[in-house]
């Protein structure tokens, strides 16, 4: 049913790259990518995001920030976002994809995942844990 997933955050250097790589690990047969509504285009993943991901066995190596746009959005079956604000921004950019856009934390009582950018190591750890739980909550739903 959902063979391709786009994960979206703000800058596409912290949250969405982590979720993209986790989902790729969990769902190797699916096409999974990430983008940002205000992406730092061409930037590598944030250093702290890389460090925490590596400590959890996930590599963000080779990531490059990508801008979300309507053309990109139409190529995916499901779009997962970090915050309700992202749903609104996506709806403005590409209203036709609103129906396939959901919170990554939807199955965790519609939990939003805060942006750790330029925050403490502990903030990144907390966000990583939330992203991992949210990704795991999608696995069962996507494998049915």
Active site members: 9, 15, 115
- The residue whose two tokens read 């063979």 is 3
Structure token pair of residue 26: 């969990």
Phi-psi region of 133 (alpha: psi -120 to 50; beta: other; left: phi over 0): alpha
76 three-state secondary structure: coil
Phi, then psi, of 118 in degrees rounded to 5: 65, 25
């Amino acid at each position: 049913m959902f063979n391709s997933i786009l994960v979206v955050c703000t800058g596409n250097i912290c949250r969405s790259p982590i979720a993209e790589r986790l989902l790729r690990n969990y769902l190797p047969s699916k096409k999974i990518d990430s983008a940002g509504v205000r992406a730092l285009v061409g930037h590598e993943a944030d250093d702290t995001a890389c460090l925490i991901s590596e400590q959890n066995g996930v590599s963000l190596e080779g990531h490059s920030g990508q801008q979300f746009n309507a053309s990109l959005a139409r190529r995916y079956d499901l779009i997962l976002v970090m915050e309700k604000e992202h749903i609104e921004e996506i709806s403005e950019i590409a209203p036709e994809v609103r129906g396939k856009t959901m919170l990554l934390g939807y199955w965790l009582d519609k939990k939003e995942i805060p942006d750790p950018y330029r925050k403490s190591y502990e903030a990144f750890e907390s966000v990583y844990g939330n992203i991992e739980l949210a990704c795991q909550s999608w696995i069962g739903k996507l494998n049915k």
